[in-house]
Amino acid sequence: MIKKKYFVLIISFAIILFLLWKKDGSLVKNSIVDQIKEGKVDSIKTPYKTDLKKKAIHEPKAFVNVPSKNWEQKLKQSLRAQAGDSQLSIEIKKEKSIIWTKDENPLKVESVVVKLTNRQNVQSSFRALVDPQTGKVLESWDQTIFDPANVKENFSFKLDSRYNQ
């Protein structure tokens, strides 16, 4: 009977040890704290964390993206690829870091304002949520609304004349 008690105690102790090891070990590495410790994620400076009284729209979980230090460069490269030689300048101004969920993936994203100046020296701007891992734009909004006097001068294209033959 005593032996049986010792056996149960030893088994219980072993289970507790195992659970503790699992908690601190490499099997569970998804928490933000762990990722911050590993340097994969910067400490979170968003209002979601700084003001605990406030309720975040999306509570932070383990992020699936790993921010790159040169995300702004990647973003600019991507915008340049689309712009070709049409823009005199592309300015990116970071507004804030936020936590965002897309396709059920929790992400650390950057909210930026992009300002474009074209070859006619006309400016436009928009906001974008950017994946700081790839520099990809996840959403864009707040686009400029133009009200030209002559709307016929807006960009347009003609269909290929071979379709008419």
Partner 1 sequence: MMVQSQWMTKFFITNGFPQRLSFCLFFAILTSCNPTEITSSGQRSNTSYANGELTNMAYIYRDSPYILEGAQYSLNANMKGSVDESMPEFITNKNQLKGDCTLSLFNSISNIDHTISDCLQSYASKSASQQILPRKSDGTWIFPTNSSEFYQVNGHYHVQKGINTFFEKLKFAYDTIHFNPSFQMNRKSIPYYLDETGLFWFQAVTPSNDNFFRNSFLTSYNLCNLELNAQFSPAGPELCFGKWSAHPNFFFIQDPSIIYHELGHALIAVMMNMRNGTPGADPHPLRSNLSSYGYDESGSIGEGVADYYSFVMNKRTHFGEWALGRSVNASRPISEDDKLHISAVNETSEGRLSYPQYILYDPNNPNVPLEDVHYAGQIISHYLVALTKEFQNQCNLPSASAHDISTSYVMLLLAETFSELGDLRSVGFDITSSIPASPSVSFSNLDSTASYMWSQVVNPPTYRNFSQILSKNILKYISSGLCPNFTKNESEQLLDDYGLLLFKTYNNDGSSTKDKTIQVSSTGTVPASVLSSPTAIHENNRRKTVLVSKELLSLSETTTDSDVATYYIIDDQKNMSGILQNLLFKGYPMNLSTGTASVEYNNANIKISPGEIVGIVPNLYNESNSTISGVHLLANDWDHVHITDETGVNGNFSPCKIDDTTTLAQGAIQGQTCSTTMANFKRHVKTSGSFAAEAAAPICLVQLETDDVAKWVSQNEFRKKQGLSLQDKDCLGYSSTTTDEDFTFNPHECLVRVLPGANKAFYSKIDPQKSYVETMRNGNPDHAFGPGNAIIFEVNKWIPPGTKFRCRMRAKFSNCSDCFSDSSDITNDDYIDREYNGSKPFKIINFEFEVND
The distance of closest approach from Cβ of residue 31 to partner 1 in the complex, given in angstroms and rounded to an integer, is 14
Return the number of the residue (1 or 151) whose C-beta is nearest partner 1: 151
User: Which of 9/47 has CB closer to partner 1?
Assistant: 47
Q: Smallest distance, Å, CB 110 to partner 1? A: 11
Max alpha carbon distance in the chain (Å)?
99
Taking CA atoms, 120 is separated from 19, 115, 116, 128, 155, in Å, by 66, 14, 11, 24, 14
Cβ closer to partner 1: 12 or 77? 77
Closer of 6 and 146 to partner 1 (Cβ): 146
List Cβ neighbours of 89 (8 Å cut-off, separation of 6 or more).
115, 116, 117
Which token pair is 60? 């932070």
Q: How far is the CB of 13 from partner 1 (least distance, A)?
A: 33
Q: How far apart are CA 81 and CA 136, in angstroms?
A: 12
Q: How far is the CB of 108 from partner 1 (least distance, A)?
A: 12
